[in-house]
Structure 1
Amino acid sequence: MKPVQHHMEEKPEPRSPATRTIVSAVLADGRLVETLYMPESGSTAFAVWDGERVGITHEIALGDERLVPYRGDNPLLKHRVVLFPSAATIFEDTATLVAEVAAYIHKYVDVATPFEKLAVEYVLFTWVYDRFQELPYLRLHGEYGSGKTRFLQVVGAICRTPIFAGGASTVSPLFHLLDRFQGTLILDEADFRFSDERAQLVKILNNGNTRGFPVLRSESVNGKEYRPVAYQVYGPKIVAMRGEFDDRALESRFISERSDGRALRSDIPINLSASQADEVLELRNKLLMYRFRRFAEAGNWFEPIDRSFEPRLNQVFSPLLANIEAQETREALRAYARARNRALVDERGVSNEAQLLAVLRHLSVNGPSPAIALADIADLYGRAFAADHLTPPTPRFIGGVLRKRLGIRPQKSHGVYVIPAMERAKLSYLYDRYNVTDEDAERVAAFDTTRALELTFEPLDRQGRVEVGDVGDVATP
């Protein structure tokens, strides 16, 4: 008889929760988590806000996952590439906090008063930007020695999770830093002068003001194979640069100010003292509490700057407007947006597209038929704006501008390309967009040979005769 063998089921060993390093989080129960860094001890921790009070912990257990902060000995923290608060400090009210931030910026930076107010509000906005779907960028541009770097140092240091990218040798680390820390990029554009680096930077700026548009890059897995990697680059950005970007759409994302053209205030310190770092940490701690208090309310309503403005301006600047409580500062932002909108319209008014629309406005009223021929447009455009072009424009060139830049599709009719009547319905909107008026059309009319030929004939008298003098007659004294 064989002995009975008893098999005991082996119990699986309990799995330790997976550890994930984070900077901040919004937990499923609504709690807010933010990283703290204590410079005295070089250690990190989490500040956890439950809606009423702040707790401090070194890790958060979430089922099978354990959340931990970045280590305090991380070189990015030790060398102040990325900055964090050290505590969440109570402040009186938002108006008082705004006044403290304004006093701090005014003490170390000399910019125009309206831009200074907007910079203050932009700092507060960075602490709740993740409640919005779009955001603007802040920029100071001017020649070297005009205070751009000081502006980055002073204003950037009190933004939420500032990432100081001035020491980057290439643009590549920025993708990783933005994706990992999701903070405020503090960028000196002059550090990236070469065309390939500038192109990568433009990708970050083009995709980084709207949530949900990551930048895709191909990265090596094992030195041989490449795979696409998506980097989240959405977030506030403060930029210093000498000039402007060629892309006008990118330019429209910036709240800008020139740093040159004015004498430096005599009370501005030439060098930043050690006490400035203490001021920064004190403000950063209060701004963390501002985030905790403001987060639930931020982003719940939007108000357009002005519905008559360019749609992009309303899209980009409305989130900042929604977070500003002081009516005076709200009006300052509206005034800035009004000037930007006027500049955009004026800039379009002197473009090739505006010139072409002036020709169309004249021909749509005085043309020989409802369908305007591209050959007639090219002929009048070439004579009216000959000084702006080295060679006379061809109908093919005119057709390309109409299709690609103005969204008007010419059609072939009886062997020639024309603008059909149904496409002319778009012209009224384009006239307004490019600020093309009846006066612009009248100026073009002076070059219309068809009209000019009509005006060369003398009007008939009552008997139907034309008074014509003898060509050979010479006036005698």
Structure 2
Amino acid sequence: MSLDNTAIPTISRVLDDGTLIELLFDPANGTTAFAVARPDGHVSIESQVELPKGERLIPYSASNNLIVNDCVLLPSDVGDFMEKGDVLGRVQTFIHRYVDLPETFERIAAHYVLLSWVYDAFSDLPYLRFRGDFGTGKTRALLTIGSLCYKSFLASGASTVSPIFHIQDAFQGTLVLDEADFRFSDATTQLTKVLNNGTTRGMPVLRTMANRNRELNPQAFRVFGPKLIAMREQFSDLALESRFLTVETSGRTLRTDVPIHLPESFKREALQLRNLLLAWRLRSRFSTGPDPSRAALGVAPRYRQTSLALLSLVDDADLRAQICRELAGEEARGLQERADTLEAAMLTAISETFAASPGPHAAIKDVADRFNALAAEELGRPMSNKWIGGFVRRRLRLLTIKTSGVYAVPQTEKAKCDALARRFGLPLPPDISTSGSGVHAA
């Protein structure tokens, strides 16, 4: 019996003519099929889809381990078509019933669920994170909200990172990651690659692979997509920290009406809502997109970029303002974290040296004296002038020169130093000129 090379196992597809194809899994009957939405608005359930070039899309098998074991959550049917506000209301009611969140974040979470179902209409996305100690409701929040998201799959800190790459690439859904602050450095590094690249379309992660002939054959894994994260602490990568909208779960008394154990009806309710959300996607996918008029104001470009997708779906101006305030708070916390780093201490030392220097340059010896006064206790010992000069060149990318027999940061680097200091949220000494503020750090 010959193999059918025209049959392509498929999870979802957006065809060139605007046809939407989504995988369904009926757990009662143990079958898979396609929900197919044609450009004329007609929606049908089909066992396969023939393409013009002779290829044939077939559903993933219902016996697939990820599907049959609820590792990846799919709709089972196309629900009733409802307006966005009605869908949001149903989603928020479900979230409120099973998890205790501050009201603002409850509403944000409901909108994030909707965003997950149309995320492919955007080029940049934020992540939603729950951070706190054990027993504060992080995992319950992930399970509740994640059970409604688009093609969500749950992974935990006990998972290896490799399956996360492969599942994200194959299903192109919502990563729901519990205990994300892995205790092993290699796993953390690999996870950081997924999260850093996953907010922007067209930024795959390359991993070294070999073909059957042992030839080098690197593979690009698509990791773009919405992500729900739970963790106790935070990532050391400050750039990654700027990609999150964070709910702090510690320090709150949980509502007594939230069930301690999820009832049997939980999965059934979640499935019904996924069916409604699929119907909303099939009708709204091509009428949804970024709305620049709703971009966050008063925050750094990174926050404006990643938050626009979520804000574009929020019709309530008051909620958009609350989200913007949360973003500003996240940015302020990030700046404080950066201000506590060695780079910040070095920039402070260089700025103060420029301000106090009788000449045009900042001598490395004077920079070292000021830096060691700030950071020697944290580092355990004073650092040498040679170490200071290397740090300035390699970490801050500032030029050093030798003048009159001593090494110094030249006056030409002062504007770049000022720009870096502002980026780190550091105050400049009062007599430092800002006339070079238009010069950007390399």
Scaled by the length of structure 2, the TM-score of the pair is 0.89
The residue correspondences of 1:194-213 to structure 2 (distance < 5 A) are: 194-213=184-203
Say if 1:305 and 1:314, in contact at 8 Å, map to a contact too. yes
Deviates more, 1:248-257 or 1:308-317: 308-317
* Equivalent in the alignment of 2:61: 71
DSSP-derived class of the 1:293 partner = helix
* Equivalent in the alignment of 2:30: 42
DSSP-derived class of the 1:295 partner = helix
CA distance in 2, matches of 1:363, 1:435: 18
* Equivalent in the alignment of 2:383: 393
Relative to structure 1, is the Cα distance of residues 399 and 88 closer, same or farther in structure 2, using a 3 angstrom cutoff? Answer: same
CA distance in 1, matches of 2:184, 2:374: 40
Identity %, equivalent residues? 40
CA distance in 2, matches of 1:352, 1:307: 30
CA distance in 1, matches of 2:299, 2:392: 24
Gaps of 5+ in 1: 1-14, 443-477
Q: Do structure 1's residue 260 and structure 2's residue 250 form an aligned pair? A: yes
* Equivalent in the alignment of 1:435: 425
Say if 2:296 and 2:308, in contact at 8 Å, map to a contact too. no
Once the two structures are TM-superposed, the CA of residue 80 in structure 1 deviates from its matched residue by: 0.9
RMSD: 2.6
CA distance in 2, matches of 1:276, 1:438: 55
Say if 2:399 and 2:413, in contact at 8 Å, map to a contact too. yes
CA distance in 1, matches of 2:269, 2:149: 13
Once the two structures are TM-superposed, the CA of residue 171 in structure 1 deviates from its matched residue by: 2.2
Structure index of larger Rg: 1
> Which letter does structure 2 place at the counterpart of 1:210?
T
* Equivalent in the alignment of 1:420: 410
Say if 1:91 and 1:286, in contact at 8 Å, map to a contact too. yes
* Equivalent in the alignment of 1:409: 399
Find 2:19's aligned residue among 26, 31, 49: 31
Q: Do structure 1's residue 108 and structure 2's residue 98 form an aligned pair? A: yes
Relative to structure 1, is the Cα distance of residues 372 and 329 closer, same or farther in structure 2, using a 3 angstrom cutoff? Answer: same
The residue correspondences of 1:88-103 to structure 2 (distance < 5 A) are: 88-103=78-93
* Equivalent in the alignment of 2:440: none
Deviates more, 1:326-335 or 1:198-207: 198-207
Cα distance per residue 1:344-368 (max 9 Å; x no partner): 2223333333333333333333311
CA distance in 2, matches of 1:303, 1:335: 17
Find 1:56's aligned residue among 36, 39, 45: 45
* Equivalent in the alignment of 2:170: 180
Say if 1:17 and 1:64, in contact at 8 Å, map to a contact too. no
Once the two structures are TM-superposed, the CA of residue 415 in structure 1 deviates from its matched residue by: 3.4
CA distance in 1, matches of 2:388, 2:294: 36
CA distance in 2, matches of 1:390, 1:441: 32
Say if 1:170 and 1:192, in contact at 8 Å, map to a contact too. no
The residue correspondences of 1:299-310 to structure 2 (distance < 5 A) are: 299-303=289-293, 305-306=295-296, 308-310=298-300
Say if 2:181 and 2:188, in contact at 8 Å, map to a contact too. no
CA distance in 1, matches of 2:161, 2:349: 45
Scaled by the length of structure 1, the TM-score of the pair is 0.83
* Equivalent in the alignment of 1:163: 153
* Equivalent in the alignment of 1:340: 330
DSSP-derived class of the 2:176 partner = strand
CA distance in 1, matches of 2:191, 2:359: 50
Cα distance per residue 1:24-44 (max 9 Å; x no partner): 111111111111112221111
DSSP-derived class of the 1:189 partner = coil
* Equivalent in the alignment of 1:331: 321
Deviates more, 1:125-134 or 1:432-441: 432-441
Q: Do structure 1's residue 356 and structure 2's residue 350 form an aligned pair? A: no
Once the two structures are TM-superposed, the CA of residue 16 in structure 1 deviates from its matched residue by: 6.6
Q: Do structure 1's residue 145 and structure 2's residue 135 form an aligned pair? A: yes
CA distance in 2, matches of 1:370, 1:172: 53
Deviates more, 1:237-246 or 1:348-357: 348-357
CA distance in 2, matches of 1:347, 1:304: 28
* Equivalent in the alignment of 2:438: none
Relative to structure 1, is the Cα distance of residues 401 and 108 closer, same or farther in structure 2, using a 3 angstrom cutoff? Answer: same
Relative to structure 1, is the Cα distance of residues 354 and 265 closer, same or farther in structure 2, using a 3 angstrom cutoff? Answer: same
CA distance in 1, matches of 2:132, 2:116: 24
* Equivalent in the alignment of 1:3: none
Relative to structure 1, is the Cα distance of residues 88 and 214 closer, same or farther in structure 2, using a 3 angstrom cutoff? Answer: same
